[in-house]
Structure 1
Amino acid sequence: MTYRTIRQRLMLSAGSTVIAGLLLAAAANSQASYSTTSAATPSPYAPRDMSSSAPTGQPMTPDSSLAAPTTPQPTSFQTSFWESLTLEPKDAWGILRDSFKWQDTPLPPDAQARVDEWIDFYSSSPTHLAEITERSSMWLAWIAQQVSSRQLPGEIALIPFVESSFDPAARSNRGAAGLWQFMPGTGDAMGLVRNGTYDGRLDVITSTQAALDYIELQAEQWYDGNLQLSLAAYNAGAGTVNRARHSAQAQGLAGDYWQLSLPNETMQYLPKLYAIAAIIDDPARYNVSLPEVHTEPAFAKVQLDHSVTLAQASALLEVSQASLAELNPGLLNGAIDPRNVQTLLVPEEVDSEVLAQLSQGESTLASSPSYASAANTAPSIPKTYRVARGDNLSAIAARYGVAVDDLMQWNGIERANALQTGQLLTLSAQ
């Protein structure tokens, strides 16, 4: 079965063949997986117990037609049901658990063994897993809503755990970036703008929509709606998965994910996802403490049709510039350019009237003394820059408004592709 909505069918059907071709070409570089876990020790695990005794109704009296009318009384089941709703209010974790669709389907023994290894791995370091869940708290409720709105399994909302440890600024040494670790070519194929001032792969809003589109599109295009095969292709590329599937089918196998022979990273991809979902499904069992996450997103969106720097927005909204930068990692130079993106994320507690003022034009904003003061303060360019994984000279030069040739001259670089992670670059001739 597929999970594509009617709206998505109409939107994607016309161009699916063209996009699929782009994706196959982009996937040749493969989707990189970004993981920061540590070594593990064994711990016991068993699938959660879903056994329950179904409530039985009240028996009819032998001659109910002759019995005196009585006031209906709630059964003990009805009473306990409503009490449980009162005593157990749901947070984002509870809603996410309810949306899991793969946890209660038994796996073949060898597949379950692969999952158990990763459960042992993650549960051996509950503090590390707690750090990742804490980092996820800013984005989890919103991502879970997007997954649910497409009727996808809730486990898909946990993919950023596997890909980036829920770090929107994560970059791999193969060039993947963002919460969903898009490779440059795949991001380009999915319409994620990428230039010197903005990188849509780092923008949580746009990259999440693109990632879910990508997963659904591949499931529809290649795998008859099989999302697990699509996730394997998300990691290794559709060509790699398709070849492994044909090989399995030639051996008389059904060709589902758990039967395929794939690159090691992809062989571990779904076991990791299953393991994280199992731990989140029952954190107390694995001595993991989950942070409180409300059911509503931890941020608000402001639609803008004019340029605004984070310094200006910080002054007007009276929130720290660091908080705005954390919510908007796609803004590489600390400013929103409506030619690239029109949505600024702000903390949820910001007053709605101030948000309305920010969304209005420059003429209205100019009347705000704090905004005007911030506007007159030019953003300072650092003297040096430490090269991060996935960086290249052209992107760094565009980010800080300098020429690539100048960067190479100032730093004695002979070949543009000779950058080393951790290298300190001088950003001026001084």
Structure 2
Amino acid sequence: MNTRPDISKISTSPVSSALTGTSSSEPASFVYTNQEADLWERIRAGYAIPDLNNKQVDNQLTWYSTRTDYILRTVQRGSRYLYHVVEELEKRGMPTELALLPFIESAFNPQAISTAKASGMWQFMAATGKDFNLKQSMFKDDRRGILDSTDAALNYLERLYGIFGDWQLALAAYNWGEGSVQRAIKKQQAQGLPIDFDSMSGLMPQETRNYFPKLQAVKNIIAHPEQFNISLPALENQPYFVTVEKTRDIDVRVAAQLAELSMEEFTALNPQFNRPVITGDSNTKILLPADNANLYKENLSKWQGPLSSWATYTVPRTEKVESLSQKLGQKPEFIREVNLIPAKMLVKAGSTILIPKSSKTPDQDISPEIAEKAQIIIEKGVATRQLNHKVSKQDNLNSIARRYHVTVADLKGWNNLKRDNLNPGQTLHIQVPVLAKSRHTAVAAHQKTPAHNFHARPAKTLAVNTRGGKKRHG
């Protein structure tokens, strides 16, 4: 274990207001009695995991050292988060090279999602995240939050080290699962073989076999970048951000505007928010650079407009987005985009969707209960084909809806109708289930006039992107 440097902290006065306040848990300036030149030196001083030297490490060194642009992009992205991670590691007496682990997991991209649906800088699966109190709701996914995911990852790594007493094996378990490593240890012991990482690597899948060698390679490059013709940018040995506590709902756009940050920079520090509004109470925190936190306070005190422009709507029955949008006075594409609903999907009864506030919507915050428990449940719609119906003098929306066993809202949504009146000769587009083809064809064949033209359109199959999956670290 490394010894934490002798540090004395001088915290700045906290930012506060009637609505928000900044926490001094990440003070804006530090003075070190044992001051390193920059954060890299502090990380190097805390290296404590025994080095590994083998062919896999050599291969990974070759890969990383020949991709200087990739390394520098990753370092630039991680420069926002490294100080916080190092601080947390030192508080726990953990090796500081673990601060480089997100280099391997996500290239320091807190919005990274793997093919197995692991998410965030530390790549937690949904089930593992819940095991470590990372809340995942419609409005927020703590697996992506910098503070919460880092705390959960270090808790998990500490637990694994407690089980195996070896950081290399603990890291193998972080990637492969503790049960898998334990079974490999029992197999080695049964044969009287060593149980260190290098000796057991032959029992591991290739990803795990290369996992610690990747960290070792990055660790070596950070330790001696000059040996690889890499010039690392200097990283100041002080916090990049402070925490701001919020007590009212606020739009992400408004928060970024008040802090005078681009949406890209604001989202990089606050990637856990899934929707365009940040809900919650004083336990919900926003991360901002220290100077911008002061700007946020100043601008907020002068702000005259609404902080949040969003409300929620509970879907009373399972229906298409087109019919929902007609009721809500919004375009279907807008409802889908804001609520991340794929095309051709039905929204099930009881789902909560986000809608803009209007004169009919109370100007109040989304309740904490809704913010925590709200969910959107979607299901694949029935395969349909399109019919074109030419309106006759006797037709109205109700009669046409009854004829084709659809709803008036569906008809209006499919045809972008703003009123109920129809004009004779007008063509309506109607989606009917494929299974009903023969029945509707029969209806058409018995019409007295050839006013109804049927044009079948093949149903499209849509893949649904879900965020579930098996437990990654188990």
Displacement of 1:303 in angstroms is: 1.7
| Corresponding residue to 2:187 among 247, 250, 257 | 247
SS at match of 2:288: strand
Q: For 1:268-279, list aligned pairs within 5 A.
A: 268-279=210-221
DSSP 3-state at the match of 2:174: helix
TM-score, length of structure 2 as denominator length: 0.59
Cα shift at 1:316? 2.7
Q: Distance in 2 between matches of 1:340 and 1:178?
A: 23
Higher strand residue share: 2
Runs of 4+ that moved beyond 6 A: 377-381, 409-417
Distance 1:144 1:2, change over 3 A: closer
The answer for the alignment partner of 2:46 in structure 1 is 99
AA matched with 1:91: D
Preserved CA contact (<8 Å) 2:123 2:143: yes
Aligned residue for 1:257?
Answer: 197
For the 8 Å contact 2:138–2:376, the answer to whether it is kept is no
2:157 corresponding residue in structure 1: 215
Aligned mate of 2:263, from 301, 321, 325? 321
1:42 matched residue in structure 2: none
How large is the RMSD of aligned CA atoms in angstroms? 3.9
Q: Is the 8 A contact 1:132 1:161 kept in 2?
A: yes
Of 282, 288, 304, the residue aligned with 1:346 is 288
Whether the 8 Å contact between 1:196 and 1:332 is mirrored in structure 2 is: yes
Q: State whether residues 311 and 374 of structure 1, in contact with CA within 8 Å, keep that contact through their aligned partners in structure 2.
A: no
* TM-superposition CA deviations, 1:199-221 (whole Å, max 9, x none): 0001011000000001111221x
Structure 2 CA distance for aligned equivalents of residues 276 and 126 of structure 1: 12
Q: Is the 8 A contact 2:113 2:120 kept in 1?
A: yes
Asked if structure 2 preserves the Cα contact closer than 8 Å seen for 1:100 and 1:155, the reply is yes
CA separation in 1, counterparts of 2:460 and 2:116?
Answer: 19
CA contact (8 A) 1:332 1:399 kept: no
Q: Could you tell me which residue of structure 1 aligns to residue 226 of structure 2? A: 284
3-state DSSP of counterpart to 1:303: strand
Q: Percent identity?
A: 30
Q: Contact 1:194/1:200 (CA < 8 Å) preserved in 2? A: yes
Whole-angstrom CA distance in 2 between matches of 1:219 and 1:277: 19
One-letter amino acid of the structure 1 residue matched with residue 192 of structure 2? G
- Listed as ranges, the gaps of 5+ residues in structure 2 are 4-32, 313-329, 356-374, 386-432, 434-458, 467-474
Task: Choose the corresponding residue for 2:176, options 219, 231, 236.
Answer: 236
- Structure 1: give runs of 5+ residues left out of the alignment: 4-84, 359-364, 422-430
CA distance in 2, matches of 1:148, 1:408: 52
Distance 1:344 1:259 in 2: 45
* Structure 1 position 291, deviation (Å): 2.2
1:159 alignment partner, SS class: helix
Residue 49 of structure 1 corresponds to which residue in structure 2?
Answer: none
Distance 1:171 1:262 in 2: 23
Counterpart of 1:300?
242
- Shift of the alpha carbon at 1:331? 0.5
The answer to which structure, 1 or 2, has the higher relative contact order (CA under 8 A, 6+ apart) is 1
1:67-146 map, 5 Å: 90-102=37-49, 105=50, 107=52, 111-146=53-88
CA distance in 1, matches of 2:153, 2:105: 12
Number of residue pairs aligned between Structure 1 and Structure 2: 319
Deviation, structure 1 residue 418: 3.4
Aligned residue number for residue 369 of structure 1: 303
Letter aligned with residue 46 of structure 2: S
Task: Say if 1:325 and 1:334, in contact at 8 Å, map to a contact too.
Answer: no
Call closer, same or farther: CA 1:373–1:411 in 2, change over 3 Å. Answer: farther
Give the secondary-structure state (helix, strand or coil) at the position aligned to 1:302. strand
Partners in 1 of 2:298 and 2:172 — Cα distance? 45
Task: Report the CA distance between 1:416 and its aligned residue.
Answer: 11
1:259/1:314 CA distance change after superposition, 3 Å: same
State the alpha-carbon separation in 1 of the partners of residues 346 and 177 from structure 2. Answer: 27
Corresponding residue for residue 147 of structure 2? 205
Task: Work out whether residues 168 and 179 of structure 1, in 8 Å CA contact, stay in contact via their aligned partners in 2.
Answer: yes
Deviation of residue 404 (structure 1)?
4.4
Q: Deviations over 1:7-44 (max 9, x none)?
A: xxxxxxxxxxxxxxxxxxxxxxxxxxxxxxxxxxxxxx
Q: 1:187 and 2:129 equivalent?
A: yes
Distance 1:418 1:293, change over 3 A: same
Deviates more, 1:180-189 or 1:322-331: 322-331
The offset of 1:92, in angstroms, is: 0.8
Per the normalisation by structure 1, the TM-score is 0.65
Contact 1:336 1:344 (C-alpha < 8 Å) held by counterparts: no
- Residue 399 of structure 1 and its aligned partner are, at CA, apart by 7.3
